[in-house]
Chains A and B, each alone.
Chain A
Amino acid sequence: MLELYAGVAVNGLLIGVIYALVATGLNVIFGVMRVVNFAHGEMVVVGMYLGYSLWQFTGLSPLASLPITVALTFAFGYGFQLAIGNDFVSRPQHVQFVLYIGLGLAITGLHAMIFGPDPRAIQGEAGFDVYRIGFLRIDAVRLHAAAVALGVIAALSAWLRWSMTGKALHAASENLVGGQAIGLRIDRIFALTMGIGVACAGTAGALLAQLYDTQPYLASEFTMIAFIIVIIGGLASLPGALLGGLMIGLAEAIAAMVLEPSAKSLLSYALLILVLLLKPEGLMGRIAGRRA
């Protein structure tokens, strides 16, 4: 029995790390630009389809083709922000919201048109490998994916904290006008921000493509998971996103086991409601975040 629970918990935590990567992307976008990117889940699915398609055409696993996925999704985010997104940063949130909902719908529609509505699965050779730690049996693909996700989060955190560009991003998020006053190219910074955010989502998607069946309509679920984690973990807090991701991954696993698989989000939504009401700055948030 214990093995069962432990196994479920570990699986949940591992998925949670990948969720944390998704949330990190949203954290960067929402945290720096205060943009309500409701198409974030769609970006994840873009990554899933990229991982799947590259596997289909080249036989490369999504891990191997990751650099391509990262580059493409980054470019998309960067380009979109320069072309359209930057005009919307200063608009009211409900206007931004509609833009991104539209974007999300269009992307989902394209996915359905190109790939069809049926789920697609990647069959990998490493598909059934398992690590044994004590009585735990951990799925190798899942562990590798989580490790990559963790690595990306750590690298991104380090870059944001120590590089010049990273600091510029941080500065822009804290004080936009001040940042402009000292000469930061805000439009480029925002484009970079969006690129990074989308790339995080896309990377997570590619990783998830090995674990879940890819289909167009998963997107809204991922969007909500991302927002839940960002709120629970705390805006502008990358450790918070990791903590939040682990919590949500675990919560889903527990709910799926104790209640029913289809009820897995129940606990997550309950947590979201509680946090929104009681501690809206999130578990690790320092600032309250801007309230409209």
Chain B
Amino acid sequence: MSSVLPRDARRPASGGGPAVSRGFRATSMRQWGAAVAFVLVMLLVPLVASTFHLSVLTLIFLFAFVGVAWNLMMGFAGQLSLGHALYFGAGAYLVAILAERYGITPWLGLPLSFALGAALGCIVGALGFRFAVRGVYFALLTIAFAEFARIVFEHWGFVGRTGGFFLKALGPDNVPLLSLRGDSLFFYYALLMSLVGAWALAALLVRSPIGYRWRALRDDEDAARALGVRAFRMKLLVAAVSGGLTAIAGGWFGLIGGSLFPDSVFGMRISIEMILAPVIGGMGTLFGPILGAFLVIPLNEVSRDLAQSLGINGLNLLLYGVLLMAVIIVAPGGCWPWLARRLRLSDAGNR
């Protein structure tokens, strides 16, 4: 912890003001610097990576994206949502249906999915607030909504029921920049841009007065309200942003895979997969979800390959489970805080 205190603030009593903010801003600059460095490296990676590596990285970006979104709600505002699949699936189906059935480009579809996700987030959040459903009860409420949506979609002919909804195959006349579907290189850059956008939005929000209010709500809702934090407004805002971003991620998921099944986008499995990266990486930090995705996705790929080559079904689940337990037992704050201290990128309050 001591590396974070700027030299000046260690002097007792005098001049608390300028020294403190200088230290704070210094750490923040380092964080922005790290972010820029990361993006630059990622921009150059395709020069050396294979198609397979690119598609794994794209998956990492996707789950980092979703992790950033979920982390806003849980890590920064303290609202545990285990039904984020609701927004993911809604966004996925909306973008896919608009593109496939109505010929509406995802350039329009993706922002619309943000709106849909945000609206759903507001509804869930408002219901929870209005009826004072907190903590694990709220988490169960979110699961109920996601599962409800899954079952409905499994029986809805318009979206193909359990048989799935498919985007038609890409022809030779496909223009990636128009249809927002292309080869692995295209998706790599598309998801990288999206991740950067989401991360920047999250960083700006977290560092703004809104972020302070969210964290106050997270730490102690009643104390925060006594300090003037408008709980309803703040909870709704985080649910809207989180839901909207998650819906966009769902939209990309459909565009990349080309096929959607209710269970794969609304199911408990994806809800759980969405939280693995931010939890292992570090909830309540800006870089945690990204680090987490870089740890979890390759682990999943490796263990799945291992399982297949050894013929052992279920090995990846075992590894996942053990990893989650290990991290939460040893380092409940996730892996990022440890790494951040080594890279001098952490700030004391933003754990």
User: Would A280 and B137 count as touching, CB distance under 8 A?
Assistant: yes
Residue numbers in A under 8 Å from B317 (CB-CB): 105-106, 108-109, 112
B274 CB to nearest chain A CB (Å): 12
User: Would B134 and A292 count as touching, CB distance under 8 A?
Assistant: yes
Residue numbers in B under 8 Å from A93 (CB-CB): 80, 135-136, 139
B312 at the binding interface (Cβ < 8 Å): yes
B316 at the binding interface (Cβ < 8 Å): yes
Interface SS majority for chain B: helix
Residue numbers in A under 8 Å from B147 (CB-CB): 224, 265, 269
A101-120: which residues lie under 8 A (CB-CB) from chain B? 101-113, 116-117
User: Would A272 and B144 count as touching, CB distance under 8 A?
Assistant: yes
A84 at the binding interface (Cβ < 8 Å): yes
A216 at the binding interface (Cβ < 8 Å): yes
User: Would B323 and A102 count as touching, CB distance under 8 A?
Assistant: yes
Closest to A216 in B: B314
B272 at the binding interface (Cβ < 8 Å): yes
A275 CB to nearest chain B CB (Å): 10
A148 at the binding interface (Cβ < 8 Å): no
B18 CB to nearest chain A CB (Å): 36
B313 at the binding interface (Cβ < 8 Å): yes
Residue numbers in B under 8 Å from A276 (CB-CB): 131, 133, 137, 140-141, 144
Residue of A103, A262, A289 near B321 (CB, 8 A) is A103
A89 at the binding interface (Cβ < 8 Å): no
Residue numbers in A under 8 Å from B328 (CB-CB): 95, 98-99, 102
Interface SS majority for chain A: helix
B66 at the binding interface (Cβ < 8 Å): no
User: Would A36 and B154 count as touching, CB distance under 8 A?
Assistant: no
B155 at the binding interface (Cβ < 8 Å): yes
B90 CB to nearest chain A CB (Å): 16
A171 at the binding interface (Cβ < 8 Å): no
User: Would B80 and A97 count as touching, CB distance under 8 A?
Assistant: yes
User: Would B312 and A113 count as touching, CB distance under 8 A?
Assistant: yes
Given contacts A93-B80, A102-B328, A260-B155, contact A109 B318 (CB under 8 A): yes
Given contacts A93-B80, A105-B324, contact A292 B279 (CB under 8 A): no
Residue numbers in A under 8 Å from B206 (CB-CB): none
B268 at the binding interface (Cβ < 8 Å): yes
Closest to A111 in B: B314
* Interface residue total, chain A, C-beta cutoff 8 A: 48
A169 CB to nearest chain B CB (Å): 21
B325 at the binding interface (Cβ < 8 Å): yes
Residue numbers in A under 8 Å from B85 (CB-CB): none
Identify which of B136, B152, B318 gathers the most chain A CB atoms within 10 Å of its CB: B136
Given contacts A94-B74, A102-B321, contact A259 B134 (CB under 8 A): no
User: Would A272 and B140 count as touching, CB distance under 8 A?
Assistant: yes
Residue of A87, A113, A220, A270 near B315 (CB, 8 A) is A113
A91 at the binding interface (Cβ < 8 Å): yes
User: Would B324 and A110 count as touching, CB distance under 8 A?
Assistant: no
A19 at the binding interface (Cβ < 8 Å): no
Expressed in whole angstroms, the Cα–Cα distance for A113 and B321 within the complex equals: 13
Expressed in whole angstroms, the Cα–Cα distance for A269 and B146 within the complex equals: 10
Expressed in whole angstroms, the Cα–Cα distance for A87 and B332 within the complex equals: 12
User: Would B315 and A98 count as touching, CB distance under 8 A?
Assistant: no
User: Would A277 and B133 count as touching, CB distance under 8 A?
Assistant: yes
User: Would B132 and A291 count as touching, CB distance under 8 A?
Assistant: yes
Residue numbers in A under 8 Å from B134 (CB-CB): 291-292
Residue numbers in B under 8 Å from A272 (CB-CB): 140-141, 144
Given contacts A269-B148, A277-B127, A291-B134, contact A99 B325 (CB under 8 A): yes
Expressed in whole angstroms, the Cα–Cα distance for A290 and B134 within the complex equals: 9
User: Would A291 and B135 count as touching, CB distance under 8 A?
Assistant: yes
Residue of A108, A112, A270, A277 near B148 (CB, 8 A) is A270
User: Would A97 and B139 count as touching, CB distance under 8 A?
Assistant: yes
B47 at the binding interface (Cβ < 8 Å): no
User: Would B313 and A102 count as touching, CB distance under 8 A?
Assistant: no
Q: List 7 A-B contacts (CB under 8 A).
A: A98-B324, A99-B324, A102-B324, A112-B317, A262-B162, A266-B152, A276-B133
Since A94-B74, A269-B148 are in contact, a sample of 11 more A-B pairs with Cβ atoms closer than 8 Å, ordered by chain A residue number, is A84-B325, A93-B136, A95-B332, A99-B328, A105-B317, A109-B316, A262-B154, A266-B151, A273-B148, A278-B131, A291-B134
Interface residues of A (CB under 8 A from B): 36, 84, 87, 91, 93-95, 97-99, 101-113, 116-117, 216, 220, 224, 227, 231, 259-260, 262-263, 265-266, 269-270, 272-273, 276-278, 280, 289-292
Closest 7 A/B residue pairs (Cβ):
A292-B135, A112-B314, A106-B321, A109-B318, A109-B317, A102-B324, A105-B321
